[in-house]
Amino acid sequence: MTAAHDRGVRAEEAVVDYLTTRGFTILGRNVRLGALELDVVARKGSLAAIVEVRTRGEGAYVGALASIDARKRASLLRAAERIWRERLSKLDGVERLRLDVAAVTFDRDEARVEYVAGAFTA
């Protein structure tokens, strides 16, 4: 496992902890939709949230939030439309979908989560 992969796994775990302490139920992690992948899919009441998890190593040129370019946004929107159509809209009580982004930074072993609800739309 590379250092970047390990950091990514730890970042996803931090976001899952962040969400569960705020009352979300985790529906899936690393959800595959053909060539598309969603980091975290969660639910709180009637809301389903797709969460893109970003982290960057120390000294990275672009910050975690800024690393989501137009191509990544388009990919996430395609995946969101597909998972809504195929799975989430069929769940009892789920009425809406939101796309969120979580940027995770590490100070030693402690993770800090910066969470942006409704980060972007179509």
DSSP string for 51-95 = EEEEE--TT-SS-TGGG--HHHHHHHHHHHHHHHHHTGGGSTT--
Whose tokens are 């969603």? That residue is 38
CA–CA dist 61, 28 (Å, integer): 31
- The pLDDT profile of the chain, 122 residues, written as one tens digit per residue, is 688 888 889 999 999 999 999 999 999 999 999 899 999 999 999 999 999 999 876 666 667 777 888 899 999 999 999 999 999 999 999 999 999 999 998 887 788 999 999 997 65
Counting Cβ atoms within 10 Å, is residue 6 exposed (0-12), middle (13-18) or buried (19+)? exposed
pTM above 0.85, yes or no: yes
CA–CA dist 17, 113 (Å, integer): 10
The CATH-assigned architecture of domain 3-69+92-116 is 3-Layer(aba) Sandwich (3.40)
